Amino acid sequence: MFILSFQLFDPKTPEYEQLQGMIAEVEFLVLDEDQLEGGCSLYDIEMSIESNMDYFAFFEREDGTVVTKFDVERRLNNIKSYIYSQVRIRATGRKFQRYR
């Protein structure tokens, strides 16, 4: 969903930069520099959350920092809410007609 949402935003707008910043915040929260350079991304974080059904699961960084699954999911939900609000803003300006 997050990757597809970039098609909604024009790269020259502040909304695009804000979305990128929110995603980067989650990536830096969980992943270290080596993992980011190796190609890990938000997609990998999402897949690891979805594949582990344990509510008390957590990510442990190499420096010993523990990030709970709940913390990551809360940030992901904030990003989803932001995307939905932007879609709502754009949808209110469009008119739909009945096709016959």
CA distances, 83 to each of 70, 71, 72, 89 (Å): 20, 19, 17, 10
- What pLDDT is attached to residue 76? 92
Q: Which domain holds residue 41?
A: 13-89
Token readout for 35 is 């993992």
Residue 49 lies in a domain: yes
Residue 71 lies in a domain: yes
pLDDT tens profile 25-69? 999 999 988 888 999 898 899 898 888 888 888 898 888 889 999
Residue 81 lies in a domain: yes
Residue 97 lies in a domain: no
- What pLDDT is attached to residue 1? 67
Count of domains forming the chain: 1
pTM assigned to the model: 0.78
